[in-house]
Structure 1
Amino acid sequence: MTATPILFDCDPGHDDAIALVMAHRSPAIEILGITTTCGNSELEKTTANCLRILEFIGANDVPVAQGCDRPLARPLVLGTADGPSGLEGSPYLPPAKKQVVDQHAVDFLAEKLAAQPEPIQVVATGPLTNIGLLVLKHPQVLSKIKNLIWMGGVFYRKSEIITPTEFNAFCDPEALKIVLDSGIPITMLGLDVTMQVLVEAPQFAELEKIDSPLGKVVVDWLKFYEKLHRNSMGVGGALHDPLVIAAVIDPTLIRTKPVHIGVNLAAGYSFGATVADFWNERGEKPNASIAYEVDSDRFFDLLYSLLRD
């Protein structure tokens, strides 16, 4: 098997943490570098969490570059699912000795992309601030992005006019618009599919059978992460970001449709909402493919196998 090289932009975060674990443990993926952004927590915390995770899983050889500490055009609004540190539930995970590279994430991404002989995949699981700034600052490297696969947006029923808003889109909608308008091939995995990969009692039972330090950490992360989902939505924790990595490993896990997507930048109840023209009523060229179906059983089989091996 030839590994797929990726650059991974993230804001760890419990589900980002599990996505990092999956990416590192899968022989189908080669992580060329990781960049961090604000979102689930402040940049200093998301970066510290990323370094802690990588050191714990033995990925010290993967370079990490710290990126933007606020959205492109507005104040930072933090996510709430991951607690004050952005990675509550594993206090025994020590601070990392690993350091970030001495380069801003946007310049790091540009350098890595320029060095690739062929276009590669970029994976993003947080707000698109770093990627939006990359589009503005280094347009000459955009042709080296084979596909940007992003956890973001929400569409649900095709008949809705005003859609709910997903956090990554809400946090920096201007960056999202820049990326959507850039011409980069984009695949969006929104809440339509990520809310179908829920950790409920059967999934916890399988995960608790994995008798290893890594298995224990993942279960502890998920026990904390589940609390918000259970209290606010009555369901288990949704593995939003791990699904993105799973789709890189096995693209057949999801089904997608190319559509034209707009993002609402106006203040109001639907600020940051992603709106898809499913039937091409406006006659605009598709600017992304959105996932609308996922094989959740196969996703969890893949997750368990990566944590066990």
Structure 2
Amino acid sequence: MHKTPIIFDTDPGIDDAAAISILLTNPAFDVKLMTSVAGNVTVDKTTTNILKLAHFFNRQDIKVARGAEKPLVKKFEDASHIHGESGMPGYDFGEVQTTILDLSAVDAMVEVLQSSPEKVTVVAVGAFTNIANLITQHPEVISKIERLVVMGGSLSGGNMTSVAEFNVFTDPDAAKIVFNSGLDITMIGLDVTLKALISGDTVAKLQGANETGRMLTAMMAFYGDNEETGKPMHDVNTLYYLLHPESYQLVDYWVDVVTDGPAIGGTVADIRHAYHDKHNVHVALGVDRPAFEQWFIAAIGQISDEQINMGKVEI
């Protein structure tokens, strides 16, 4: 079985934790590096949260590097009102024994890309600050990136403003650099992540499935991101897309990022091809929700308690 080599850039975050739970336990993924970025909470907290999850899943082999502590230009605004002050409340992971590399996120990415015998897939599920810094500071390694899959953006409305999705809103200048980089980019945004919801019944099944399910549902009790028919697991969609692209409907567009004014953080597609005769992003606009939900339950349910370092649900 060929494993996909992955660099995973993240800002945990409760839905990030769900994605990382699958990333670190699915044999289809060869995790070369995980990098933190300021987003849902500060970079100190997102780094700690990656280490907590690497410890929980007994993955001392995972390389972790600390990334950008603030956006390129815009003032940093976190989402602790959605994810709790720590980013991952509700579960005590115990004494964490994993540590970070003595390298910045960008330097660690360069090392991984230069040393890899094959091209690496980069998955970015937080603000795109680290990826933008990699592109601008080390253009020589761009050719070693197979493709970039991002959770971010929206063509149908935002969750920070009427137009802006959180990850792009957090660092729109970085998102603009990334979208204009020439990389093969797939945008998994709110157009699909607000459709791929997990219902209350699914949450109940997760709680009874195993310790990983208990850990995630303990966090979900504090998760402030709710839709009428369920909770969005935004970042999990990037991994589901990599494994099951047939469940998504993609359209190729040229997408621009608004970097100032009242629409800052907006992602605007040239749908009428009025300004561009080519595309820079594959945009996901549709998803098979039932298939996503069934896969998510199965992906968490297959994680054996023997694989993990158990903590305890916080009261």
Do both proteins adopt the same fold according to a TM-score greater than 0.5, normalized to the shorter chain?
A: yes
The 5 Å alignment of 1:176-187 reads 176-187=175-186
Q: Secondary structure at the match of 1:155?
A: coil
How well do the aligned residues superpose, as a CA RMSD in angstroms? 1.5
Q: Secondary structure at the match of 2:249?
A: strand
Give the TM-score taking structure 2 as reference length: 0.91
Larger mean Cα displacement after TM superposition, 212-221 or 7-16: 212-221
Q: Secondary structure at the match of 1:148?
A: strand
Alignment-mate amino acid for residue 239 of structure 1:
M
Q: Secondary structure at the match of 2:76?
A: coil
- The answer on 1:216 being equivalent to 2:214 is yes
- The answer on 1:104 being equivalent to 2:97 is no
- The answer on 1:134 being equivalent to 2:134 is yes
TM-superposed CA distance for 1:206, in Å, is: 2.4
Match of 1:13 in 2: 13
- The answer on 1:250 being equivalent to 2:249 is no
- The answer on 1:293 being equivalent to 2:286 is yes
* Corresponding pairs, count: 298
Instruction: State the Cα deviation string for residues 103-126 of structure 1 (Å, max 9, x = none).
Output: 000011111111122322100100
Q: Distance in 2 between matches of 1:274 and 1:95?
A: 41
The 5 Å alignment of 1:15-54 reads 15-54=15-54
Q: Percent identity?
A: 34
Give ranges in structure 2 of 5+ residues lacking alignment.
303-315
Larger mean Cα displacement after TM superposition, 74-83 or 133-142: 74-83
Match of 1:307 in 2: 300
Larger mean Cα displacement after TM superposition, 276-285 or 10-19: 276-285
Give ranges in structure 1 of 5+ residues lacking alignment.
none
Alignment-mate amino acid for residue 229 of structure 1:
D
Larger mean Cα displacement after TM superposition, 69-78 or 43-52: 69-78
Instruction: State the Cα deviation string for residues 53-83 of structure 1 (Å, max 9, x = none).
Output: 1100111111100011000112211113111
Q: Secondary structure at the match of 1:118?
A: coil
Q: Distance in 1 between matches of 2:99 and 2:204?
A: 36
- The answer on 1:237 being equivalent to 2:231 is yes
Match of 1:276 in 2: 269
Give the TM-score taking structure 1 as reference length: 0.92
Candidates 251, 257, 262, aligned match of 1:263: 257
Q: Secondary structure at the match of 1:86?
A: coil
Larger mean Cα displacement after TM superposition, 141-150 or 235-244: 235-244
- In structure 2, the CA distance between the partners of 1:234 and 1:302, relative to structure 1 (3 Å rule), is closer
Contact 2:153 2:267 (C-alpha < 8 Å) held by counterparts: yes
Contact 2:202 2:297 (C-alpha < 8 Å) held by counterparts: no
Contact 1:229 1:236 (C-alpha < 8 Å) held by counterparts: no
TM-superposed CA distance for 1:203, in Å, is: 1.5
Instruction: State the Cα deviation string for residues 237-268 of structure 1 (Å, max 9, x = none).
Output: 21000111111122222121110000111221
Q: Distance in 1 between matches of 2:65 and 2:200?
A: 37
Q: Distance in 2 between matches of 1:57 and 1:89?
A: 17
- The answer on 1:173 being equivalent to 2:166 is no
Q: Distance in 1 between matches of 2:95 and 2:182?
A: 39
Alignment-mate amino acid for residue 83 of structure 1:
G
Q: Secondary structure at the match of 2:30?
A: strand
Alignment-mate amino acid for residue 207 of structure 2:
E
Match of 1:201 in 2: 200
TM-superposed CA distance for 1:95, in Å, is: 4.4
Contact 2:8 2:35 (C-alpha < 8 Å) held by counterparts: yes
Moved over 6 A (4+): none
Q: Distance in 1 between matches of 2:25 and 2:243?
A: 11
Q: Distance in 1 between matches of 2:180 and 2:241?
A: 24
Contact 1:11 1:126 (C-alpha < 8 Å) held by counterparts: yes
Q: Secondary structure at the match of 1:7?
A: strand
Q: Secondary structure at the match of 1:88?
A: coil
Alignment-mate amino acid for residue 240 of structure 1:
H
Contact 1:48 1:95 (C-alpha < 8 Å) held by counterparts: no
Contact 1:163 1:275 (C-alpha < 8 Å) held by counterparts: no
TM-superposed CA distance for 1:283, in Å, is: 2.6
Q: Distance in 2 between matches of 1:88 and 1:208?
A: 16
